[in-house]
Amino acid sequence: MLDYLLTDDQKMIRDLCRQITDEKIRPVSAKYDETQEFPWDVVKVMAESDICGLYIDQQYGGMGGGIMELVIATEEFSKGCGGIALAFAATALGTLPIMLFGNEDQKKKYLPDIASGKKIAAFGITEPAAGSDASAMQTTAVLKGDHYVLNGMKHFITNGGDAETYVVIAMTDKTKGARGASAFILEKGMKGFEFGKKEDKLGIRASSTRELIFTDCKVPKENLLAKEGMGFIVTMKTFDKSRPGIGAQAVGIAQGSLDAAIEYSRQRHQFGKSISSFQGIQFMLADMATQIESARALVYGVARMIDSGAKDYSKYSAMCKLCASEMAMKVTTDAVQIFGGYGYIKEYPVEKYMRDAKITQIYEGTSQIQKNVIGLALIKEALKK
């Protein structure tokens, strides 16, 4: 790996997460891929090792790190299993809105338990008819006295059902379109808040993906995040910070597949030689490694820009997610190619990396949506000149 001049603490985090991955994630990744159960035992290890609160402020029980620390941990875990890593990374997605927009009471109430790993979190905006176009959302929230009443549903929600803390976007004023959405903090067990079916997926099968169903669900007024009408701003600002995490997941998955491919290519013999002695294979490995390193450099660069306190980084956030996820799909597909027929067989590790990589091009905005974000930003910048 290129020397990214990590601080001593960041190296410590990387080494610890690597140890967790090698000792606790790799041995169980095939099992959870098969069973689709939630990897609670691994989450417990992450909690005991103080990893769950890595990016949360110290005053709320976290370790006080930033997006860079989140990225380092997510990448390491994803080398072992992109699905298990998501229990951690999607919790960050559900926690960032509270960190960014929560008031003091909300932060005090919700962050410490997430930092300690006692609870995990989730974020819900997607609905069956509102995917890339989130403004088509149907879920409503109506203020009645001291609480809002939510009706509707969300689907494809990561950690859904397993998380205790949810940030959910709902329409408080449909007439205002995108400006009529608001963000709420929900807790598992609130009356009228239930879970629908758990999806059976292609990849990241250790991660749970469920429907959230709201039937006259009463949410106390004080659980409104920011102000009414801020729902989409909360979402966009959250995605700006969380997308490097998906980039890191993609980098980790790709690196995991490359490591496996290098090892295999040295052991597999055809035509009386190890296949790693063929230039055709070496060129593939060289391309894979170069593509991974470029994506990693971009992801780390954006994470550091965010942590430095920069204001406007949506474009770069979208770029690093786009670049890393496209790279991961290509690299993991090539890893399967290097394994030949064995790569297609579940007994070998690379087909899982390929299945896991696909989602990184889809959630938190598809690759096409990232390009929209980048393209619009470019045009906006040109107009300003």
Partner 1 sequence: MKIVVCMKQVPDTTQVKIDPQTNTLVREGVQSIINPFDVYAIEEGVRLRERFGGTVTVVTMGPPQAENALREAITVGADEAVLVSDRAFAGSDTLATGYILAMAIKKIGDVDIIICGKQASDGDTAQVGPGIATQLDLPQVTYVNKIEDIKDGHAVMHRMTEEGYEIVQTSMPCLITVVKEINEPRLPSLKGKMKAKSAPIKAMKAIDMDVDESRLGLTGSPTWVSKIFTPPSRPKGEIFEGEADACADKLVSTLKDHLKG
Ligand X SMILES: Cc1cc2nc3c(=O)[nH]c(=O)nc-3n(C[C@H](O)[C@H](O)[C@H](O)COP(=O)(O)OP(=O)(O)OC[C@H]3O[C@@H](n4cnc5c(N)ncnc54)[C@H](O)[C@@H]3O)c2cc1C
Residues that bind partner 1 (CB under 8 A): 9, 12-13, 16, 19-20, 23-24, 45, 48-51, 54, 63
State the nearest-atom distance from the C-beta of 378 to partner 1, in Å: 40
State the nearest-atom distance from the C-beta of 63 to partner 1, in Å: 6
Is residue 209 within 8 Å of residue 156, measured between CB atoms?
yes
Q: Which of 135, 145, 228, 220 is nearest to 185 (CA)?
A: 220
Q: Which of 45, 35, 32 is nearest to 83 (CA)?
A: 32
The upper half-sphere exposure of residue 255, i.e. CA atoms within 13 Å in the direction of its Cβ, equals 23
State the nearest-atom distance from the C-beta of 272 to partner 1, in Å: 13
State the nearest-atom distance from the C-beta of 246 to partner 1, in Å: 23
- Give the type of residue at 119: K
Q: Which of partner 1, ligand X, none has residue 157 at its interface (CB below 5 to 8 Å by kind)? A: ligand X
Distance CA 12, CA 308 (A): 21
- Nearer to ligand X among residue 313 and residue 363 (C-beta): 363
Q: Which of 258, 272, 222 is nearest to 337 (CA)?
A: 258
DSSP string, 30-91: HHHHHH----HHHHHHHHHTT-TTTTS-GGGTS----HHHHHHHHHHHHHH-HHHHHHHHHH
Kindly tell me which residue out of 35, 270, 368, 380 binds ligand X, with binding defined by CB under 6 A: 368
Subset of residues 38 to 77 that bind ligand X, contact rule: CB under 6 A? none
State the nearest-atom distance from the C-beta of 331 to ligand X, in Å: 20
Kindly tell me which residue out of 20, 42, 157, 303 binds ligand X, with binding defined by CB under 6 A: 157
Backbone angles phi, psi at 5, to 5 degrees: 50, 50
Kindly tell me which residue out of 17, 52, 125, 185 binds ligand X, with binding defined by CB under 6 A: 125
Of all helices (H) and strands (E), which one includes residue 224? strand 224-225
Q: Which of partner 1, ligand X, none has residue 50 at its interface (CB below 5 to 8 Å by kind)? A: partner 1
Q: Residue 176: CB partners within 8 Å, gap ≥ 6?
A: 229
Q: Which of ligand X, partner 1, none has residue 131 at its interface (CB below 5 to 8 Å by kind)? A: ligand X
Number of CB atoms found within 10 A of residue 17's CB: 27
- Nearer to ligand X among residue 209 and residue 223 (C-beta): 209
Q: Which of ligand X, partner 1, none has residue 54 at its interface (CB below 5 to 8 Å by kind)? A: partner 1
Subset of residues 308 to 367 that bind ligand X, contact rule: CB under 6 A? 359, 362-366
Catalytic residue among 164, 326, 364, 381: 364
Q: Which of ligand X, partner 1, none has residue 156 at its interface (CB below 5 to 8 Å by kind)? A: ligand X
Q: Site size for ligand X, by CB under 6 A?
A: 22
The verdict on 377 binding ligand X (CB under 6 A) reads no
The verdict on 166 binding ligand X (CB under 6 A) reads no
Q: Which of 278, 281, 161 is nearest to 210 (CA)?
A: 161
Q: Which of partner 1, ligand X, none has residue 13 at its interface (CB below 5 to 8 Å by kind)? A: partner 1
The verdict on 232 binding ligand X (CB under 6 A) reads no
Subset of residues 186 to 215 that bind ligand X, contact rule: CB under 6 A? 201, 209
Kindly tell me which residue out of 131, 229, 301, 340 binds ligand X, with binding defined by CB under 6 A: 131
Pairing type for strands 165-171 and 121-124 reads parallel
Distance CA 45, CA 59 (A): 22
The verdict on 156 binding ligand X (CB under 6 A) reads yes
The verdict on 124 binding ligand X (CB under 6 A) reads yes
Q: Residue 289: CB partners within 8 Å, gap ≥ 6?
A: 258
Kindly tell me which residue out of 32, 38, 123, 232 binds ligand X, with binding defined by CB under 6 A: 123
Kindly tell me which residue out of 158, 208, 238, 257 binds ligand X, with binding defined by CB under 6 A: 158
Q: Is 381 a catalytic residue?
A: no
Of all helices (H) and strands (E), which one includes residue 184? strand 181-187
> Quick check: helix, strand or coil at residue 215?
strand
Distance CA 324, CA 305 (A): 17
Active site residues: 364
Residues forming the site for ligand X (CB under 6 A)? 90, 122-126, 131-132, 156-158, 201, 209, 359, 362-366, 368-369, 372
